[in-house]
Amino acid sequence: MDKDFMKKQPVFPLIMSMSLPMVISMLVNSLYNIIDSFFVAKISDEAMTALSLVFPVQNFINAVAIGFGIGINAVIAIHLGAGEGGKADKAASQGLLLSAVHGVLLTAVCIPLMPVFLGMFTDAENVIELGVQYSGIAFSFAPVIMLGISFEKIFQSVGMMKVTMMSMLCGCITNIILDPVLIFGLGPFPQLGMRGAAVATAAGQVLTLIIYIVVYFVKNMPVKISVRELRPDGKLMGRMYSIGIPAALNLALPSLLISALNGILSVYSQSYVLVLGIYYKLQTFLYLPANGVIQGMRPVIGFNYGAGEFGRVKKIYSTVLGMCAVIMTVGTVICLAIPSQLMGLFTENPETLLIGQRALRIISAGFIVSAVSVAASGALEGLGKGMPSLLISLLRYIVIILPCAFVLCKVWGADGVWWAFPVTEVIGAALSAVIYRKAVRTE
C-alpha cells in the first residue's frame, strides 16, 4: 500500500473509493436497524415502544464508542500524514485500552439505571419489563462494542475501508438472520422474544470484533498495536480525548433530544412518542449513507491536514458537501413519495400511521440543507477541531430545536415538534457555514 496515496490521488475518485465501502456498510447497518425494529414490532406495540425508549441510552453507548473512535482515527491519520509512525502506533494501542475501560464502565452504570430511566417516560409495567429485558443483555456487550468500533476506526485511519465493510457486513447479516430465529423460536431455537432481539445484536457485534482481530494479525498494517506502547502518554491521550469527547457528545446529543421531545410529545399521546421513535429508526437509514461519506472523508482530510496540504483540504470539504447534498435529496424524495409505506413497516395502528405520515413529510423539508451541518461537523472532526464540531451539534440538537419545539407546539400542537426540525436545519446550516469558515481561517 502506498502510504501517501491520500494526498496523491484525485480528490473525487479518492473520496468515492474511501466512502463507497462505508456507504454500503452503513446501508446494511441501517437495514439491520430497520429489520430489527420490524421484528420487534411484530411482538407488540409495547415491545416497539420499549425499544424506542431504550434507544437513547443505546445510542449514548454507541456515541461514546464512535466518538472516541473518531479521536483515535483523527490522531492516527494526522500523525501518519506528518510521517510520525511511532506516534500513530502509540495512539492505536492506547486508544484500544481506553476503549475497553469505557465499555466496562458503561456496562456497570447503564444496566442498573434502566428501570428508573424507563419509568421516567412510561407507567406501563409491560413496557418497562420489555425494555429491561432488552437492555440487560444488549448493554452487557458494551466492551465488545467499544473494541469493535475502535478497530474499525484504526482500519479506516490507514485507508483499509474494505476490511471495515466486510466486518460490518458479516456482523449485520448475522444479526438480521438471527433476529426472527431467536425472537420467534424458529427451528430448534427457543422463543426468546425481546431477549432474542438483544442476543442477535450481541452475536453480530462479537463476530465483527473477531473478524477485525483476525484480519489485523493476517494483514501487514501501516499501524502496529503493541503492549510496549501502552505506557500512558498524557499528551497523546489528551489529544484523543480532545477530539473524542466532543465527537461523542455530538453523537450523544440526539439521545438527549429524543428524551426531551418524548417528554413534550407524551402530553399528547403515546402514539406521538412511538412515531418519534420510528422516525429515528428511519433517520438512521436516511442519514447513514451521508455518514458513510463522512467516515470516508475523515482520514483523507486528516492526512492532508497533517501533511500541510491545506488547498487540498478545502477541495475535499467542498466535494463531500456536494455528495451529502445529493444523498439527502434522495432521502427527501423517498419520504415525500412513500411516507405511509415507511411507517407501515413498524405499526398497523391507523392513528399512528396518520401521525407518522404527516411527521415524515414535515421533517423531510429540512433534509437537504442539513448537508451543510453534517459535512462541516465531520470535516472539523477530521481536522482535529472537536470543539467547533461540538458547537454545531449543540446548535442542531439543543440550542435551536428545543426552544423551537416548545414554542411551536403551543401554536400547532404536536405538529409543532415536527416543524421544529426543518426550522432548526435552516438556521443550523447558516451558522455551521460561519463556524467552519472561522475555524479553518485560523490556520
Q: What is the mean pLDDT of the chain?
A: 89
pLDDT tens string 91-144: 999 999 999 999 999 999 999 999 999 888 888 888 899 999 999 999 999 999
Distance CA 208, CA 259 (A): 30
State the pLDDT at residue 1.
Answer: 53
Query: The dihedral of CA 285, 287, 290, 296: what is its sign?
Result: negative
| pTM for this entry | 0.77
pLDDT at residue 284 above 80?
no
User: ∠ CA 63-67-73 to the nearest 5 degrees?
Assistant: 145
| Unique residue bearing C-alpha cell 430497520 | 34
Higher pLDDT, 7 or 368: 368
- Convert 56-119 into a string of H (helix), E (strand) and C (coil): HHHHHHHHHHHHHHHHHHHHHHHHHHCCCHHHHHHHHHHHHHHHHHHHHHHHHHHHHHHHHHHH
Mean pLDDT, to the nearest integer, of 383-405? 92
Distance CA 404, CA 264 (A): 12
pLDDT tens string 317-362: 999 999 999 999 999 999 999 998 988 887 788 888 999 999 999 9
State the pLDDT at residue 377.
Answer: 93
pLDDT tens string 142-153: 999 999 999 999
Distance CA 424, CA 265 (A): 18
State the pLDDT at residue 3.
Answer: 67
Q: Quick one: cell of 398?
A: 439543543
Q: How confident is the model at residue 397 (pLDDT cuts 50, 70, 90)?
A: very high
State the pLDDT at residue 442.
Answer: 41
pLDDT tens string 24-74: 877 777 677 777 788 888 888 888 888 888 887 888 898 899 889 989 998
pLDDT at residue 385 above 70?
yes
Distance CA 349, CA 357 (A): 12
Higher pLDDT, 394 or 248: 394
